[in-house]
Chain A
């Protein structure tokens, strides 16, 4: 054991001072190194923090959304097939809180394997203030709720659209023009509105009658008379929305042989949610006035749908009744649709449904069908 007893105090002091003098340069260099390390770390932290918050300063942002679906349908009088492979990307480009470009493509595989691509909508949305957005371009029809809000396969609770709400039905699909829309506080209630002016539809004539209303957005207006339409929704209490819709204008034979005919649509819809129960319904009537040389016609459809989530929310039962009437007996259809869905996630859904269809005997609208679909919204 080392001891310092017997060493004079003056010698001890000398030894300590000597040791301090020897170690001082070493401590100073270590401190300098530590200081440098701290400064380096502080610089790195600033760099990382700056990178992490870059998005907050960015004036533009890009986002890809959309949905995809694969369906199988087996109907009474035809062989079952995987009849739908659908990819619908939606592009969002936003500049500050001023402008957003939105566009949805619908890419599908046709019956012979060909790829079909359609521009479902493309709009430039200019945010005028907290209560008004100016929408310019080809937009989904705001008439009713199915076309503008419920048609994506991951949102629609059944694998099919209600009769009359698809292409060639009573409900307008899209239009091209200008639209103003937004939300409005109304005391204790809330409201929303959409009002547009657009090119309007055209007519496909067959002999002396209207075969189909071509109500998909076009970039020409052969009748020269703009259509005006819109929807006004009211939410008197949370969970309940009621709305009225209209369109008025003219529509002309697409071959321009016949003069324009008056075209009018009225509609009403509602939606109500309470816990895991949801009820909704919609009514639309489109009317084309007659001419001396062309018969007019009325396309009318309505549906009501109930759905309920059960067994911790992963399963969902759906029932929908639709009644579609048109001037053509082979298009008329009454349909009960029953479905059961399994939600792997809120946006990943497997659907199985049965349709009991009542249409003109011998026509496709009379065939009962079994449908299955997997849909993914992203």
Chain B
């Protein structure tokens, strides 16, 4: 297997993915009318299903509420979470410590 994507096609590919996610963002939020605020119940489920994918569960009491925010944001990027999942998990953790 030996092929190469040229320097022109690569940015086009990235732009295509970006456009798709923008469309996804608009369609999903309009169709499901998702709340922007975090939901504690959904957050508990997302926390249980996602954190263990890579590492041991961390205790919500380990950090203050304000420190959990950048931690969860970091995990959103690393674990491929949606923004809503990240807000839900943050709401759950901040209500559990």
Contacts and interface: CB of A to CB of B under 8 A. Distances in A.
Interface of A: 55-56, 58, 61-63, 65, 90, 92-94, 97, 100, 102, 125, 127-135, 145, 148-150, 154-155, 178, 180-185, 191-197, 224-226, 228, 233, 238-239, 241, 248-250, 262, 264, 266, 271, 273, 278, 287, 289, 343, 345-347, 377
A184 B23 CA distance: 12
Interface of B: 1-7, 10-11, 13-14, 17-18, 21-22, 24-25, 28-29, 34, 49, 52-59, 62, 65-67, 69-71, 73-74, 76-85
Given A61-B66, A194-B80, A264-B3, A155 B10 contact: no
Contacts of B69: 61, 94
A93 B74 CA distance: 10
Given A262-B3, A287-B2, A148 B55 contact: no
12 contacts: A56-B66, A65-B74, A92-B74, A100-B73, A129-B22, A133-B76, A180-B17, A193-B17, A196-B14, A233-B80, A266-B1, A287-B1
A257 B18 CA distance: 38
Contact of A102 (B56, B67, B77, B82): B77
B4 to A, nearest CB: 6
B49 A239 contact: yes
Given A61-B66, A130-B29, A249 B80 contact: no
A63 B71 contact: yes
Contacts of B55: 154-155, 346, 377
A196 to B, nearest CB: 8
A228 B52 contact: no
Given A180-B17, A183-B80, A193-B17, A128 B52 contact: no
B14 A178 contact: yes
Given A194-B80, A233-B80, A273-B52, 7 more contacts: A65-B71, A94-B73, A184-B21, A225-B6, A241-B53, A266-B1, A346-B58
B71 A248 contact: no
B71 A346 contact: no
Interface centre among A62, A65, A125, A130 (most CB of B within 10 A): A130
Main secondary structure of the interface of A (DSSP, over half): strand
Contacts of B17: 132, 180, 193, 195
A50 B76 CA distance: 30
B70 A63 contact: yes
A376 B91 CA distance: 26
B77 A100 contact: yes
Nearest to B13: A228
A289 B2 contact: yes
B59 A346 contact: yes
A148 to B, nearest CB: 7
A286 B25 CA distance: 35
B77 A135 contact: yes
Given A92-B74, A193-B80, A197-B10, A131 B58 contact: no
Contacts of B62: 347
B25 to A, nearest CB: 4
A130 B4 CA distance: 32
Contacts of B52: 239, 273, 278
Contacts of B65: 55
Interface centre among B11, B13, B54, B78 (most CB of A within 10 A): B54
A228 B71 contact: no
Contacts of B4: 225, 248-250, 262
Given A100-B70, A125-B77, A183-B85, A226 B3 contact: no
Nearest to B51: A346
B74 A100 contact: yes
B53 A226 contact: no
B22 A132 contact: yes
Contacts of B84: 130
Given A65-B74, A130-B84, A132-B25, A180 B18 contact: yes
Interface centre among A149, A278, A377 (most CB of B within 10 A): A149
Nearest to B83: A130
Contacts of A185: 28, 82
